[in-house]
Structure 1
Amino acid sequence: MTGKTHIMGGIAATTAYAYYSNYDPTALIISGAIGSIIPDICHGGSKIGRRFPILSNIINAIFGHRTITHSLIFLVLIGYILTLITDNQSIIMGVVIGMASHLILDACTKNGIKLLYPASVTVRLPITTKTGGAVENIVLIALTIVTIYLGKEFIL
């Protein structure tokens, strides 16, 4: 999936979570948008990879793309590190939910992800699509509609 779809996925997921929880929606949604691009730090051409090229190149050289940064280990590790940095649960949950949305979206691609890294098993959901294709654009629109529908609760 492309960066814009990942960001909208993180926003949609955290908006939905905010809708059903008592977390601060602003902190949750902003953190979700940020968390949604973190797993692609392993790809130099990604939004976050271009922002932190040295870190991106190091991670890619050691692990490759869609391995450790697209795994449950990385998700838990980032969640744990955040608990050491902040006690703001809205930020922690937002980043973790945003990252989880990224993993789900990339599991919908033909290349899949190494969710159980270091195991070499590739995880793909039963229905997959090509990154940047027409189906991804439909997903992006659907995520936007979900965000608007649920987000109106916080605006009104």
Structure 2
Amino acid sequence: MTGRTHIMGGLAATTVAATLTDLDPVWLIFAGAIGGLVPDICHSGSKIGRRFPILSKLINSIFGHRTFTHSLLFLLLVRFLLSLVTNNTSFITGIMLGMASHFLLDSMTKQGIKLLYPVNITVRFPLTTRTGGAVENIVLLALTIVTLYFGKDIVMNG
């Protein structure tokens, strides 16, 4: 999936979560957008990879693409590191939800992800699509509709 779809996935996940929890919606949704991009730090052509090129190339040379940074192990590591630098539960939850949405979206592609890394098992949906194709545009539209639908409740009640 492309960066814009990952951002919208993080926004959709955290907008829904903001309506179901007492977490601060501003921090939650802001962090969700960031979390939606974080796993692609392993890809130098991604939005986040272009922002941090040296780190991106280093991670890619060690792990490759869609392995460690697309795994539950990486999710736990990021959660641990965030807990060392902040106690903002809304921010941490937003990053985690954004990353989880990224994993889910990339599982919809033919390449899939190594969710259980270092175990070499590829996780993907039975029906997959290619990155940047027509199906991704439909997914992006659906995520946008979800975000707007749940976002209106936050604006009206918040």
User: Whole-Å Cα distance in 2 between the matches of residues 57 and 99 of structure 1?
Assistant: 20
The aligned residue for residue 138 of structure 2 is 138
Q: How far 1:127 moved relative to its partner? A: 2.3
Q: How does 1:1-156 map to 2 (within 5 A)?
A: 1-156=1-156
Q: Give the RMSD, CA atoms, in angstroms.
A: 0.5
User: Whole-Å Cα distance in 1 between the matches of residues 148 and 56 of structure 2?
Assistant: 33
Report the residue type matching 2:21 in the other structure.
S
* 3-state DSSP of counterpart to 1:139: helix
Percent identity reads: 65
User: Whole-Å Cα distance in 2 between the matches of residues 87 and 27 of structure 1?
Assistant: 12
**Normalised by the size of structure 2, how large is the TM-score?**
0.98
User: Whole-Å Cα distance in 2 between the matches of residues 101 and 154 of structure 1?
Assistant: 20
Count of aligned pairs between the two proteins: 156
* 3-state DSSP of counterpart to 1:105: helix
User: Whole-Å Cα distance in 2 between the matches of residues 139 and 127 of structure 1?
Assistant: 14
Consecutive unaligned residues in structure 2, runs of 5 or more = none
- Superposed CA deviations along residues 95-145 of structure 1, whole A, max 9, x for unmatched, are 000000000000000000000000111000122111000000000000000
Q: How far 1:155 moved relative to its partner? A: 1.2
Q: Is contact 2:7–2:33 with CA below 8 Å preserved after alignment?
A: yes
Moved over 4 A (4+): none
User: Whole-Å Cα distance in 1 between the matches of residues 33 and 127 of structure 2?
Assistant: 24
* 3-state DSSP of counterpart to 1:5: helix
User: Whole-Å Cα distance in 2 between the matches of residues 83 and 3 of structure 1?
Assistant: 26
Q: How far 1:5 moved relative to its partner? A: 0.2
User: Whole-Å Cα distance in 2 between the matches of residues 82 and 19 of structure 1?
Assistant: 23
* 3-state DSSP of counterpart to 2:13: helix
User: Whole-Å Cα distance in 2 between the matches of residues 72 and 155 of structure 1?
Assistant: 33
* 3-state DSSP of counterpart to 1:7: helix
**Normalised by the size of structure 1, how large is the TM-score?**
0.99
